[in-house]
Amino acid sequence: METMRLNDVTANDLPWKIKYDASRCTMCGSCVATCSFKAIVPKVERRRMVFSEGNFPEPKARFSAVPVIRQTKSVRDYCRGCGMCEKVCPNDAIKPERNPDTRHPIITRCLGGDSIKRGGRKNLEGSTRTLDTIRVGRISQMTDPSLDAQRHTFDLLAPFGRILPPKKLPFTPDADQQLVTQELTPPVNWVYPVIIGDMSIGALSWRMWEGVAMAVAYLNEECGMPVRMCSGEGGVPVRLLKSKYLKYMILQIASGHFGWNRIANAMPHMVEDPAGILIKIGQGAKPGDGGLLMAQKVAEHIQAIRGVPKADLLSPPNHQGLYSIEESVQKMFLSFNSAFKFRVPVAIKVAASATSVSVFNNLVRDPYNIVGGFFLDGIDGGTGAAHEVSLDHTGHPIVSKLRDCYLAAVTQGRQGQIPLWAAGGLGKTGDLAADAFKMIALGANGVFTGKLILQMAGCIGNDLGRCNACNTGLCPAGITTQEPQLAHRLDPEKVAQNIVNYYLAMDQELKKLMAPIGNSSLPVGRSDALVSTDHAVADRLQIQHVC
Ligand code: SF4
Ligand code: SF4
């Protein structure tokens, strides 16, 4: 008998157990070849068979070597439950099963002496989502007529840029009573109210990024929907910077300033202005933390775009020279405004936190009208890589924080001047139109989304610990990897098609929600349209309670 080694890792210590039926397996090898995590391996098992051939029992033993598939028992190469092996097995011989007895969080820390890192989004079991307790309750059928969602013309446009109140517009009538402008007004782009959130070309595979960019171009040029995509921190390929498609891109700058050398060098060659600049101060999934791109994902083209060697790329938690967000933002706004000659709106993205309303308040009161948008990202936002402890335990839900910002602006009579954009777990149930509509009625001008875009492309990760290995560079779906053989699992054209179709469906659904409340433009702040079945939610958000 072997000595029992108490600290050896067994399948029962891991988050997923592989269920394997040797009697169905033909040893084709597809599952092992598919598993990017090396979580299953072919093995040979020694089997003993006892048989008796004569008329009377005369047991004999025969030994044979049987090839089988076995789960790797390692805290490094462990099964993520991605289900790719199940997908490729022609005989339904293998599948992962969630292990409720897992000791993985403990043994990983004990054996590694390092914090756990992963991608995805918050994995702690949530209670009912706030947005799911809210319904669109004010249907205007009797008092004023609902609209026809199929035939009415709707205006689904949201501002990206500072909106001046009428009294501040520098217009004066000339001798012919025509309005003339005396001075520059802040640039504003009117865009589709669902922006594709900031996912960098390092976090995403080049094929995924290409698919998203193709979808955006198609939505704009063939469907007439002015959808914009944010580059994320990490630069943009020079070919795109010099192309006419730049007008659909929002360029992001974050604390690492990755990729901006190339952007600055490409400026004289740009034939179009970008749709906007987004200064990222923080991210809802891991507030207080900078970006993180693990070395295994820093492929050659990423090194070229970012101008870095192959190494872990950690962005600092703060922008350099930061004394206050307001001061730093002001400096950066001025730089960008002058770089793009005041033609490109500049907005800021912060993580929802106990203090984000104060920051918003200060920006709303800024007399120079430099801030062209306030992007607020909540705790349920996704990320390509983070320390698990930050992902699970830091952050702020988006709904009440967005509402607080809107009501703070209302109190000052300045709502709408700095457009509010919200994100963080929106579309988590698969229905982004409903979440977007509710956030808009609570005061957002629009929303942005990232993780849902990955799911449209085929990401199989979820909030219950499935996959979430985006940080490893081994994405089994080819979405967040730079390994050529994995990236080639993804068909960029299929990605583009899925995103376009989702947007077309969502567009119809948004209209289906706007029509009954009688709005042909976005119902920003129309919280009278909402009711909540939860007393505490209704009180907190100042909407009607129903039961
Ligand atoms: S479920 Fe995914 S990670 Fe687990 S063995 Fe199968 S392919 Fe590998
Ligand atoms: S499928 Fe890829 S993108 Fe989705 S959770 Fe897994 S590693 Fe991340």
Percent of the chain with pLDDT over 90: 64
- Highest mean pLDDT pick, 307-321, 354-368, 406-420: 406-420
Distance (Å, rounded) from C-alpha 195 to C-alpha 204? 17
Closest to 17 (Cα-Cα) out of 101, 76, 110: 101
At CA 199, angle to CA 196 and CA 202, rounded to 5?
A: 150
**8-17, 86-95, 167-176: segment of lowest average pLDDT:** 167-176
The amino acid occupying position 78 is Y
Judged by its nearest atom, the ligand closest to the C-alpha of residue 80 is 1
Atom of ligand 2 nearest to the CA of 458: 1
Q: Is the CB of 461 under 6 A from ligand 1?
A: no
pLDDT of residue 293: 84
Burial 469-478 (b: 16+ CB within 10 A, else e): bbbbbbbbbb
pLDDT of residue 91: 96
Could you tell me the pTM of the whole model?
0.93
Q: Is the CB of 81 under 6 A from ligand 1?
A: yes
Closest to 232 (Cα-Cα) out of 470, 510, 419: 470
Q: Can you tell me whether residue 540 is helix, strand or coil?
A: helix
pLDDT(444) > 70? yes
pLDDT of residue 368: 79
**10-24, 130-144, 228-242: segment of lowest average pLDDT:** 130-144
At CA 489, angle to CA 305 and CA 85, rounded to 5?
A: 130
Distance (Å, rounded) from C-alpha 330 to C-alpha 339? 14
What are the pLDDT digits (tens) for 341-352?
889 999 999 999
Which of 65 and 366 is assigned the larger pLDDT?
A: 65
Q: Is the CB of 227 under 6 A from ligand 1?
A: no
pLDDT of residue 227: 98
pLDDT(270) > 70? yes
Phi and psi dihedrals of 383, rounded to 5?
-155, 155
Q: What is the average pLDDT across 210-228?
A: 97
Judged by its nearest atom, the ligand closest to the C-alpha of residue 456 is 2
Q: Can you tell me whether residue 31 is helix, strand or coil?
A: helix
Which bin fits 83, alpha (ψ -120 to 50), beta or left (φ > 0)? left
**227-231, 259-263, 427-431, 527-531: segment of lowest average pLDDT:** 259-263
Distance (Å, rounded) from C-alpha 212 to C-alpha 493? 9
pLDDT of residue 54: 85
What are the pLDDT digits (tens) for 66-78?
999 999 999 999 9
Residue 267's CB is within 10 A of a number of other CB atoms, namely 11
**67-76, 133-142, 235-244, 494-503: segment of lowest average pLDDT:** 133-142
What pairs with residue 47 in β-bridges? 64
Helix (H) or strand (E) holding 56: none
Q: Can you tell me whether residue 518 is helix, strand or coil?
A: coil
What are the pLDDT digits (tens) for 369-397?
888 999 999 998 888 889 999 998 998 99
pLDDT of residue 37: 97
Contacts of 90 (CB under 8 A, 6+ apart): 26, 28, 30
Split at pLDDT 50, 70, 90, the class of 482 is very high
What class, spelled out in words, does domain 132-164+191-545 have in CATH? alpha beta
What class, spelled out in words, does domain 11-114 have in CATH? alpha beta
pLDDT of residue 306: 83
As given in the structure block, the two tokens for residue 250 are: 């929002």
Contacts by 333-340, CB closer than 8 A, 24 or more apart: 333/279, 333/370, 333/371, 334/370, 336/253, 336/277, 336/279, 337/370, 339/264, 339/267, 340/273, 340/274, 340/277
Domain boundaries of the chain, sorted by first residue: 11-114, 132-164+191-545
What are the pLDDT digits (tens) for 97-121?
999 999 999 999 999 899 999 998 8
pLDDT of residue 304: 85
Distance (Å, rounded) from C-alpha 210 to C-alpha 226? 18
Q: Is the CB of 385 under 6 A from ligand 1?
A: no
Atom of ligand 1 nearest to the CA of 34: 7
> For atom 2 of ligand 2, which residue has the closest CA?
475
